[in-house]
A and B are shown apart, each in its own frame.
Chain A
């Protein structure tokens, strides 16, 4: 079956530090990959996505590259801000099998200190 593995949190960084949150996956078909963000007290929002190998998703300074050879989709940001403090979820959708439901990782809480 499909699964997503994320690095454990919480991750605590100082403002302007470099961020990496690791995500690896297993899938039986040809997944699309996503990063969702959940700010305190809010719902899930799509941060970025990639639908095929070597695609790079980017948004709000965050980037992630779909690496089929390493089955990874690591989230990076060059300079985090306090406002980036949230929980980040890596997810996949195995649309090649027609199954559009998302499989989520465990989530990584990011805390950015001023």
Chain B
């Protein structure tokens, strides 16, 4: 199993500002993922973060809006830039562990409210 710690757990931010969310895994993982869960909706993949390379973004998400860092095999950050109320969501990081019996673990999420 794996423990994934995210911080902050929640924040209220002014529009036009940026927030950086940190994700720490208690073991080394190759790929980390960032998801968005808008109010009352399912999870949508924002990007995949590999150590030592640029993140891969899904359709509808761009690096200028959601820059991602992946400095080592246990840590990643997601920044939500130039925020607007439409960015109010829960942001979750995730990582797969194991080689044979793999499963994806999730952080507790960061609940972001933009006012």
A joins B in a complex: yes
Give the bracket for the number of chain B residues in contact with chain A: 10 to 19
Cβ-defined contact, B109 with A101, below 8 A: no
Interface pick from B12-20, B71-79, B81-89, B99-107: B99-107
Partner of A102, one of B41, B45, B107, B108: B45
Contact pattern, A 38-51, Cβ under 8 Å of B = 1, otherwise 0:
00001111100100
- Please measure, in the bound complex, the distance between the C-alpha atom of A24 and the C-alpha atom of B33, giving whole angstroms: 24
Q: List 27 A-B contacts (CB under 8 A).
A: A34-B103, A36-B106, A43-B92, A43-B106, A43-B107, A43-B108, A43-B109, A44-B43, A44-B92, A44-B106, A45-B106, A46-B103, A49-B103, A89-B42, A93-B104, A100-B31, A101-B33, A102-B33, A102-B43, A102-B45, A102-B94, A104-B42, A104-B44, A105-B42, A106-B42, A107-B41, A107-B42
Residues of A contacting B48 in the complex (Cβ-Cβ under 8 angstroms): 101
Using CB atoms, name the residue of chain B closest to A36: B106
Give the bracket for the number of chain A residues in contact with chain B: 10 to 19
- Please measure, in the bound complex, the distance between the C-alpha atom of A87 and the C-alpha atom of B5, giving whole angstroms: 21
Residues of A contacting B45 in the complex (Cβ-Cβ under 8 angstroms): 101-103
Contact pattern, A 70-107, Cβ under 8 Å of B = 1, otherwise 0:
00000000000000000001000100000011111111
- Please measure, in the bound complex, the distance between the C-alpha atom of A49 and the C-alpha atom of B42, giving whole angstroms: 18
- Please measure, in the bound complex, the distance between the C-alpha atom of A103 and the C-alpha atom of B43, giving whole angstroms: 8
Closest Cβ of chain B to A5, distance in Å, is 11
- Please measure, in the bound complex, the distance between the C-alpha atom of A42 and the C-alpha atom of B109, giving whole angstroms: 8
Residues of A contacting B44 in the complex (Cβ-Cβ under 8 angstroms): 104
Using CB atoms, name the residue of chain B closest to A106: B42
- Please measure, in the bound complex, the distance between the C-alpha atom of A45 and the C-alpha atom of B2, giving whole angstroms: 12
Which B residues from 43 to 58 make CB contacts under 8 A with A? 43-45, 48
